[in-house]
Amino acid sequence: MKKKKTTDFNDELPAGSAVLEHTDILIHNVHEPDRCGKEFCTVHNRSNHHMRSFPQYWRSDIGVMERTCSHGVGHPDPDEFAIAKDIYLAIHGCDGCCQAPTQLVVRRDLRNLGK
């Protein structure tokens, strides 16, 4: 017997549907979870990337999953472009939130050392 899919609200989902992360948006015509295999997937098997706390938004006009940052800007979901066929779909109006935080390395200022 196949296990029934449920949303975060424990409602039954129609076959081929999914709820986007951190939203109540239901999308349809989604592939079955077993098609993802062990690959990361924006719907069934999300990686632990730095934008996981951003709500997802499906851009049906261009067929790309986005994450909307707290500033209201849509950034391509990092898992989307692990499997992307057209990298140009990643072009977006960016405010920098899609860049993974980097660890700063503080070095001593060497400019005035010889004076």
The larger pLDDT score, comparing residue 102 to residue 79, is at 79
pLDDT in tens, 43-59: 989 999 999 999 999 98
For residue 110, the enclosing domain spans 1-88+100-115
Provide the percentage of residues in the chain whose pLDDT is more than 70.
Answer: 75
23 pLDDT exceeds 50?
yes
Residue closest to 20 by CA, chosen among 87, 77, 103, 85: 77
Please report whether residue 62 resides in a domain. yes
Please report whether residue 95 resides in a domain. no
* Least confident segment among 23-27, 47-51, 64-68, 106-110: 106-110
Please report whether residue 93 resides in a domain. no
9 — pLDDT class (breaks 50, 70, 90): very low
Please report whether residue 1 resides in a domain. yes
Buried b or exposed e, range 59-93, using 16+ CB within 10 angstroms: eeeeebbbbbbeeebbbbbbbbbeeeeeeeebeee
Q: What is the pLDDT, as a whole number, of residue 67?
A: 93
CA distance 14 to 28: 8
Q: How many domains does the chain have?
A: 1
pTM: 0.69
Please report whether residue 94 resides in a domain. no
